[in-house]
Amino acid sequence: MSLAFLLEIGTEEIPDWMIVPALNNLQDMFQGLLDQHALGGKVASTAATPRRLVLRAKGLVERQLDTEELVLGPPKSVGAGAAAGFAKKMGTTPDQLKTETTAKGEYFAFTKRTQGQATAAILARELPNLILKIQWPKTMYWNGKGSERFIRPIRWLVALLGDAVVPFEIGGVHSGDTTNGHRLLGKPSILVTIEDFEHQLKSNGVILSADQRRDKIETEIAGLLAGRALKVKPDPDLLHTLVYITEFPTAILGGFDSQYLELPQEVLVTVMRHHQKYFSVEDANGNLAPNFIAVMNTIADPDGLVRHGNERVLRARFNDARFFWQVDQKKPLAARVEDLKNVTFQAKVGSYFQKTERVIELVKQLGGDKHAQRAALLCKSDLTTDMVKEFTDLQGIVGGLYAKAQNEPNEVWRAIYEHYKPLSMDGPIPSTREGLLVAFADKWDTLTSCFKVGLIPTGSKDPFALRRAAQGLVRIIVEGKLQHHIVICDEQLREFLRDRIEYYFRDVRGFAYDEVRACMATYAGNLIQLEGCLLWLQQVRQTPDFEPLAASFKRIKNILKQAEYKDGGTYREDLFEPGPESDLYQEMRRTNGQPLESRIAALRPKVDLFFDKVLVNAPDPNIRRNRLALLQSLLTEFSDVADFSEIVTER
């Protein structure tokens, strides 16, 4: 008979962004447990709300199968004493031993039978450890120093195998068959079975399925806006957050006084999104509407109190923002540059004032015009404004908006506004040349000056977000088409950047990893050329002659390596043997200067024939050396573009 299994870890509210990775981790570990102990069964599903992680499995056996194992003992020739020792070790008597004949002779042997354990017993023993091994970014203890750690205190545990409780204990909490409903909508201590678990939760104010919670939010938002000529500003990240900070989400529509629409849209959206977790709402033309959507963790707002409360909070937040906007304007950005002397960029590197000076210099070197240089001068001064101190996410954006309000030219304020871009792997890069140059210089300076003082990311530790800076840098150059060579003296930074370049072309742009390695082999600092190489290689790879030739190149490389050939490609024409060897040489000369694609097509059959008929490792050392030289020069002629031997082929 196969059994179903249910595990619910009841906790206090888990941070929303940690839930999905933890569930996946739990699923993997539990499946591993089933497999390791041969309990049969598969994890059927996982689900979570902020207060519970749930795992369901099915097809578990009731107990492990009994196993038999034949254990060989000492050779029969050693006699009775050794047999007695072996029998004792096996927990039996000598008369129970058998004789087993092997190629080496006769041996004492014993058939050891192990009785399978009950699945419930194994789970009871293993689950506490497994649960406490779930990986979290930051854990806590709650039962006193040295006690178990988890993301938040564990308050109840449901563990059912079929109809029976799997008994175990974590930190004084005993597993059982009772769960708890929503804090306000449900009852505590609800008796459940595997079959009625989700239904019981539902009638106690908990929608267990994240998909159902998401659907509920989306459907309700659509309902709230229906017939109003309004649409919600899509925000998948916020939606995900709301799905995982609620057990019973319900959307409500609120409004604010349209006088606040005078404030920049960016500020309003940031206040709503980051501080209040509201969706913004737009009219048909894409302009911000004086409305917002909040998602409650309860069933209804019968008296409108929740809406009223949220509107009140938002009003206070907007008032603050308006106050900052007005106060900050009293001192223009240009007058704030000097204040950057008191703002530390990084303790070992110096102030933002010094950073600004370096960025201006770099922008000049990159050929930035007066607008670009002006933007470089002003780009960090918004760090001294109250608005940025309050809404740090708006750094750069606020600077750009203030620059605009202070009548800086379009090119200048736009460059400031966009100079932190790209903010993510798929976010946009700055849209103007001035913006690209300032963004480039800012990130370049961050990287070089941090590496210079040894602030180098290790493993998962990257407190100054240098990976993001490097990734942004790569995208700015490639996608912004900046024809600048990158020359890096610091070896660690060079390696670090190579990693990011490979990552970008491979994981973001989708080039095959061997293509990236082939082209990186010839990369010398010009990313636009590198991109060209990859695009070319991707195309030429489709042609029928390419992969066979690439395979031959790999062979050539191996031959040269084995022969420890280091003499360059100087060969003597008169030593070439007529036939395939001479033909290959003639074809190389004939096609010299032709586009690589046609050389590949022309040379491929010659190379194949060469390897087919010619023995590189000729008995005469002169001939041998000459052939190696021919191969080396063939390799060299092609290696200017890419290292084709990196291409993975089937041959």
Copy the structure tokens of residue 257.
Answer: 């006084």
Cα-to-chain-centroid distance, residue 97: 57
User: Residue 250 or 329: which CB sits closer to another protein?
Assistant: 250
Q: How far is the CB of 157 from another protein (least distance, A)?
A: 13
DSSP state letters, 186-220: S-SSEE--TTTHHHHHHTTT----HHHHHHHHHHH
Binding site for another protein (CB under 8 A): 12-13, 15-16, 50, 138, 140-145, 152-153, 155, 183-184, 245-246, 276, 294, 296-298, 301-303, 305-306, 308-310, 312-316, 319-320, 323, 341-344, 347, 351
Give 269 or 607: the residue with its C-beta nearer to another protein. Answer: 269
Cβ closest to another protein, residue 282 vs residue 301:
301
Question: From the CB of 481, what's the least distance to another protein, in Å?
Answer: 38
User: Cα separation of 253 and 301, whole Å?
Assistant: 11
Nearer to another protein, 146 or 619 (CB): 146
Residue 342 CB, shortest distance to another protein, in Å, is: 4
CB of 19 closer than 8 Å to CB of 48: yes
Q: Which is nearer to another protein, 12 or 215 (CB)?
A: 12
- H-helix or E-strand containing 175? strand 173-176
d(CA 472, CA 470): 5
Whether 10 and 52 have beta carbons less than 8 Å apart is answered as yes
In this structure, the number of other CB atoms found within 10 A of the CB of residue 622 comes to 10
Nearest CA to 530 out of 543, 547, 517, 513 is that of 517
Closest CB to another protein among 143 and 639?
A: 143
- Shortest separation between residue 242's beta carbon and another protein, angstroms: 10
465: left (phi over 0), alpha (psi -120 to 50) or beta: left
Q: Give the tokens for residue 524.
A: 């010398």
Closer Cβ to another protein, 125 or 312, answer by number: 312
Q: Least distance to another protein from the beta carbon of 184, Å?
A: 5
Bond from prior residue into 621 cis (ω within 30 degrees of 0) = no
Rounded to the nearest whole angstrom, what is the least distance from the CB of residue 124 to another protein in the complex?
A: 22
- Closer residue to another protein, CB minimum distance, 172 or 234: 172
Q: How many other C-beta atoms lie within 10 A of the C-beta of residue 458?
A: 6
The CB-of-306 to another protein minimum distance in angstroms stands at: 5
Q: Between residues 10 and 399, which has the closer beta carbon with respect to another protein?
A: 10
Give min distance, CB of 63 to another protein, in A: 35
**Pair of tokens at residue 28:** 């993997």
Token pair of 365 as six digits: 């070197």
Tell the smallest beta-carbon distance from residue 296 to another protein (Å): 4
370 contact partners, CB below 8 Å, separation of at least 6: none
Query: HEC states along 391-414?
Result: CHHHCCHHHHHHHHHCCCCHHHHH
